């Protein structure tokens, strides 16, 4: 029994009068790994007199559903810090690319890394997220670009979920970039990704969903569709990197396949937004990449609002465009750079992030029967989680009903 807390249940309230689902001076009881009861602190203490329950005093902290980072590329080798430094010291993109920089450098470093090294660096990054109250994490492959390394990335992601008190969902990002060795045979590469590689990884139980980077610098609509169709035949749900740099109609394609999410969406048309809303596909907004790339066209949040698209927020943790291990920073950026309300931003890392992973029945709100994943914060009101820049007010994390503490 957790008493003397203020709950932000994040249960949907279309009337918006109680936007965070606030219950002040509240208590929450856990049985096994589930939320068993929610009520007032006074009722909880009376109940505790008659039953044998352990009582924890939250000291007036705010208690929220465990945060969900629904879009990361957390497992990779190397880093791109040198490239970052060179660019800021005046070296051109072209020179960096000629010197082997860019995504191919991460692919090379990842292919050369041992599983132990990949696990070690990913664990450090996961700890950063977990210290802020993250209890569920999506991890994409995509830096192998050949089946052996892709398998290793997915295995490391699964291992992370076994070792750490965090739930991990894995995504096979088969179409991320065209590897150097396949430059002369795009169709052959897409065929491998959509055929034998997908079947092998799915057969090994390593994939919860698939993803493709549909963009003029990556893969076309037709190539993306070929991959999504193959995944659909295997019963795998999809995410799509859509509309980051241009509007190719990738959002409409994601909607047509009933994708769980379409991610980025700086470039999105009105019909695209309508299609996403109709399909129940979540728009996952990624302000970290937008910030690092110094983009100037934000996603059309008013259009998505009007169309009724559910919006989530994530770190997009990756070495090239968003080396971010703070979901709280993504909350602030979602508000300051994209104009989300604090309520929308918090729904974006709880209820809507759960929907983006297809887990809304199990996590994302504080409600009876849901998994007892929650986090405690020393704040005056929920919006403070979006307001702070660089502070971490998280004072405790409960994962599956068990209290955990982490070192950052």
The conformation of residue 180, written as its DSSP 8-state character, comes to G
Record the tokens describing residue 243, joined without a space. Answer: 């509309």
* Least distance (Å) between residue 62 CB and Zn ion: 30
* Least distance (Å) between residue 49 CB and Zn ion: 51
Which CB sits closer to Zn ion, 155 or 316?
316
152-211 residues in contact with Zn ion (CB under 5 A) are none
The string of DSSP codes covering 184-215 is T-HHHHHHHIIIIIHHHHHHTT--SEEEEEES
* Least distance (Å) between residue 90 CB and Zn ion: 28
The conformation of residue 219, written as its DSSP 8-state character, comes to B
* Least distance (Å) between residue 353 CB and Zn ion: 14
At residue 94's C-alpha, the angle toward residues 89 and 97, to 5°, is 95
228, 236 in Cβ contact below 8 A?
A: no
Distance of CA 179 to the CA centre of its chain: 25
351, 364 in Cβ contact below 8 A?
A: yes
Which CB sits closer to Zn ion, 69 or 223?
69
* Least distance (Å) between residue 319 CB and Zn ion: 11
67, 375 in Cβ contact below 8 A?
A: yes
Using alpha carbons, select from 80, 68, 75 the residue that is nearest to residue 321: 80
Distance CA 318, CA 336 (A): 21
At residue 285's C-alpha, the angle toward residues 14 and 244, to 5°, is 140
* Least distance (Å) between residue 214 CB and Zn ion: 12
3-state secondary structure of 387: helix
Count of chain residues binding Zn ion (CB under 5 A): 1
Which CB sits closer to Zn ion, 140 or 343?
140
Distance CA 290, CA 17 (A): 32
Which CB sits closer to Zn ion, 211 or 344?
211
Q: How far apart are the first and last CA of the chain?
A: 27
* Least distance (Å) between residue 24 CB and Zn ion: 38
Which CB sits closer to Zn ion, 288 or 342?
288
Which CB sits closer to Zn ion, 266 or 316?
316
* Least distance (Å) between residue 151 CB and Zn ion: 20
* Least distance (Å) between residue 293 CB and Zn ion: 12
Which CB sits closer to Zn ion, 284 or 375?
284
* Least distance (Å) between residue 241 CB and Zn ion: 6
Instruction: Compose the 286-325 pattern: x for residues touching Zn ion by CB under 5 A, - for all others.
Output: ------------------------------x---------
Helix ranges (H only) for 14-65 are 41-50
Which CB sits closer to Zn ion, 121 or 171?
171
Distance CA 371, CA 57 (A): 20
Extended strands (E) in 227-357: 238-242, 261-264, 282-285, 311-313
| Cα separations in angstroms, 159 against 75, 148, 222 | 11, 16, 34
Distance CA 313, CA 316 (A): 9
Residue nearest to Zn ion (CB): 316
On the CB side of 212, CA atoms within 13 Å amount to 30
* Least distance (Å) between residue 73 CB and Zn ion: 6
Distance CA 332, CA 383 (A): 10
Which CB sits closer to Zn ion, 174 or 396?
174
Which CB sits closer to Zn ion, 83 or 316?
316
Which CB sits closer to Zn ion, 223 or 316?
316
Binding residues vs Zn ion (CB under 5 A): 316
């Amino acid at each position: 029994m957790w008493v003397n807390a203020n709950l932000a249940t994040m249960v949907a309230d279309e009337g918006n009068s109680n936007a965070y689902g606030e219950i002040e001076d509240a208590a929450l009881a856990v049985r096994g790994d589930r939320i068993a009861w929610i009520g007032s602190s006074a009722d909880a203490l009376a109940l505790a007199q008659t039953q044998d329950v352990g009582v924890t005093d939250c000291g007036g902290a705010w208690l929220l559903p465990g945060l969900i980072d629904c879009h990361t590329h957390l497992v990779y080798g190397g880093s791109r810090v040198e490239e970052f430094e060179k660019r800021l010291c005046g070296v051109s993109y072209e020179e960096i690319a000629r010197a082997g920089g860019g995504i191919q450098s991460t692919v090379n470093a990842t292919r050369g890394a041992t599983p132990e090294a990949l696990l070690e660096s990913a664990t450090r990054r996961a700890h950063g997220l977990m210290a802020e109250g993250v209890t569920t994490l999506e991890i994409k492959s995509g830096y192998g670009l050949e089946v052996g390394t892709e398998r290793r990335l997915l295995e490391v992601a699964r291992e992370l979920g076994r070792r750490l008190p965090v739930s991990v969902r894995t995504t096979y990002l088969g179409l991320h970039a065209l590897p150097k060795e396949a430059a002369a045979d795009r169709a052959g590469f897409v065929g491998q990704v959509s055929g034998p590689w997908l079947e092998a990884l799915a057969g090994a139980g390593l994939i919860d969903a698939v993803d493709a980077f549909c963009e003029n610098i990556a893969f076309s609509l037709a190539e993306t569709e070929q991959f999504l169709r193959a995944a659909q035949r295997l019963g795998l749900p999809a995410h799509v990197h859509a509309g980051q740099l241009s509007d190719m109609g990738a959002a409409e394609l994601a909607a047509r396949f009933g994708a769980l999410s379409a991610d980025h969406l700086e470039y999105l048309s009105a019909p695209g937004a309508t299609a996403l809303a109709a399909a129940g596909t979540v728009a996952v907004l990624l302000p970290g990449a937008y910030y690092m790339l110094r983009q100037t066209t934000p996603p059309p949040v008013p259009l998505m609002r009007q169309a009724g698209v559910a919006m989530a927020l994530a770190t997009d943790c990756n070495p090239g465009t968003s080396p971010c291990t703070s979901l709280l920073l993504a909350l602030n950026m979602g508000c300051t750079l994209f104009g989300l309300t604090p309520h929308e931003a918090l729904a974006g890392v709880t209820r809507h992030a759960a929907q983006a992973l297809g887990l809304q029945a199990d996590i994302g709100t504080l409600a009876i029967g849901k998994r007892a994943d929650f986090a405690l914060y020393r704040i005056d009101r929920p919006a403070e989680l979006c307001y702070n820049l660089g502070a971490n007010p998280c004072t405790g994390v409960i994962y599956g009903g068990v209290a955990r503490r982490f070192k950052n």
